Amino acid sequence: MIQKLSVPSIDALRESQALDDLWQRSGVTSPMLRSACLANWQQTFGNGDSPVIVRSVSQDRWTAALPLTAARMSGNVPCFRLASNPWMQCADLLVDRHLASEETFDQLAFQISGLPASFLFLEGLVETPGVVQLIAALRREGCEVLRQPNFETGLVRIQDSWDEYLASLSKNHRKHMRRSLRRLQQLGPVEFERFHRFDDDWELEQLLGQALAMEDRSWKGCEGSSLIANEDCRQFYIACCRELAAAGMLEIQFLKVGQLRVAFEIGCTAKSTWHSHKVSFDPDFAEFSPGQLLLYLQLKHWHESRDVATVDTMGVLSPAVARWCNESRMRYRYRVAIGGPLSRCMLRGFRRVQPWAGRLLRRR
């Protein structure tokens, strides 16, 4: 087992077949963690720094990797974190479950403890066996670790028939969907429209343009959080969509009424899982619950076609999404003190102060 700390250029990362090979062998399903999307994230949000990949190699094959990016806490304190932000998570712990051993995680922990920083921040991680083993190895290495719930995400497992799944939902929710669909059909034929093969970049960008313009007309545009209102994020997102389309993974879905597209979802399929990345609808049709109707028709399609086995809603689990999910999972935030006694002392102090601060904020 060889320990290696890799600091590739962004261009070299974009062409990293070793990272993509490990992603394919890992239990992580989101293709946003492939090398091209990670390179796009680093180029857009990484302040021009090269990524750092903590990895373990055995017989010329990567057995585990943790892609990180340099950052600063409170302006001056150096730290490392996952390549992720509220817009997109493009990094996770990748582990070959068949080749990894305890030594693999000890090697990763040894490299992490030697990074030129005080802290490591890992946000949005599902507590998989690999994550549990890495945290245990970091503690063996002498690192202080603070684990906290971060947010919950929802899943729909495609197991039963569509009728059986529908019967498992609440009676009021089923009634609301039937009523909304009937009302919308009074305006014209309702259609679930899918695009998963694109003739060229022009067609892809036309469809993306229509979808993002619809998002900008929604509350996100009013709050300045739409992609059109954030040029760097828009360029990043479009670049990733091009990469996923070239790999045959991207899909753009619309809810149509007559000739009008009134809701959309952009996502990708990999490892028998549909990953929902962006959803919005035309606010002029809000009274018909178009986003919910699109999800209704999408889930009906997945149950009947069996093209996927799981729908991963990806983002923070909201009440509107939770009513469709038959499974949920918590994502965790880990703060790791890797800079010696002072950083360990700071993290312990934060651990003691945080419950008091949380109670104070709740009182306000």
One domain for residues 299 and 348: no
One domain for residues 73 and 14: yes
**Residues pairing with 330 in the sheet:** 152
Those residues whose C-beta lies under 8 Å from the C-beta of residue 315, and which sit 6 or more positions away, are: 153, 276, 321
> Does residue 319 belong to any structural domain of this protein?
no
> Does residue 314 belong to any structural domain of this protein?
no
Cα distance between residue 211 and residue 281, in whole Å: 9
> Does residue 313 belong to any structural domain of this protein?
no
Our count of domains for the chain comes to: 2
CATH code, domain carrying 59: 3.40.630.30
Length of the chain: 364
> Does residue 322 belong to any structural domain of this protein?
no
One domain for residues 302 and 165: yes
One domain for residues 208 and 340: no
One domain for residues 252 and 271: yes
One domain for residues 175 and 195: yes
One domain for residues 6 and 145: yes
One domain for residues 113 and 179: no
> Does residue 315 belong to any structural domain of this protein?
no
One domain for residues 257 and 122: no
> Does residue 119 belong to any structural domain of this protein?
yes
Question: What pLDDT, on a 0 to 100 scale, did the predictor assign at position 355?
Answer: 63
> Does residue 124 belong to any structural domain of this protein?
yes
Coil, helix or strand at residue 237: helix
One domain for residues 137 and 167: no
Structure tokens belonging to residue 297: 């028709």
336 membership: H or E segment, kind and range = strand 327-337
Q: Can you give the residue range of the structural domain that contains 143?
A: 2-152+329-363
Question: What pLDDT, on a 0 to 100 scale, did the predictor assign at position 359?
Answer: 45
One domain for residues 141 and 273: no
Those residues whose C-beta lies under 8 Å from the C-beta of residue 55, and which sit 6 or more positions away, are: 4, 5, 6, 62, 64, 65, 66, 108
One domain for residues 253 and 275: yes
Question: What pLDDT, on a 0 to 100 scale, did the predictor assign at position 6?
Answer: 66
Per-residue pLDDT of the chain (364 residues; tens, 9 = 90+): 555 566 668 888 888 899 999 999 999 999 999 999 999 998 888 876 778 899 999 888 999 999 999 888 776 888 999 988 766 788 899 999 899 999 999 999 999 999 999 999 999 999 999 999 999 999 999 999 999 999 999 999 999 999 999 999 999 999 999 999 999 999 999 999 999 999 888 999 999 999 999 999 999 998 998 999 999 999 999 999 999 999 999 999 999 999 999 999 999 999 999 999 999 999 999 999 999 999 999 999 999 999 999 999 988 999 999 999 999 999 999 999 998 888 888 888 877 776 654 443 334 3
> Does residue 321 belong to any structural domain of this protein?
no
